[in-house]
Amino acid sequence: MHVAIITFQLRQPYAAETHPGIHRLLSSGRHAPLGDNSFIFVSEMTLAQVCDQLRPHLVSGEHVFVFGAGRYFSYAADSAVAAAVEHLLPGVRADRREVPPPVG
């Protein structure tokens, strides 16, 4: 099993309807959104294989980075986001930071 952090620079925010190739890849494993254009992705594919599968679905001016996730991570996120990530990574040690209240 490989755990990847995938982050995109896309011309428009990711949606399954507008990026069906990316959606197919994410659906081939387990995933949870980290932001508009970033995901944690768990599959049997290596990081290079994930990148190779995503590359044909990018157009000029777009890019993707695929990072390996280790056995430890730290985050500051709302509980709904954090719960989805922690569900994909049972047993992985996480250091949770509270998100400060909105300013203003």
The fold for domain 2-97 equals Alpha-Beta Plaits (3.30.70)
Q: Dump pLDDT digits (tens) for 56-100.
A: 998 888 899 898 886 666 666 667 777 777 777 776 666 666 666
Q: Which residue's structure tokens are 């695929």?
A: 66
The torsion angle over the Cα atoms of residues 37, 95, 68 and 32, rounded to 10 degrees, is: -40
Residue at 96: amino acid letter: R
pTM: 0.73
Taking the domains of the chain in order of start, what are their residue ranges?
2-97
Contacts of 32 (CB under 8 A, 6+ apart): 39, 40, 81, 84, 85, 87, 88
Q: What is the pLDDT of residue 72?
A: 64
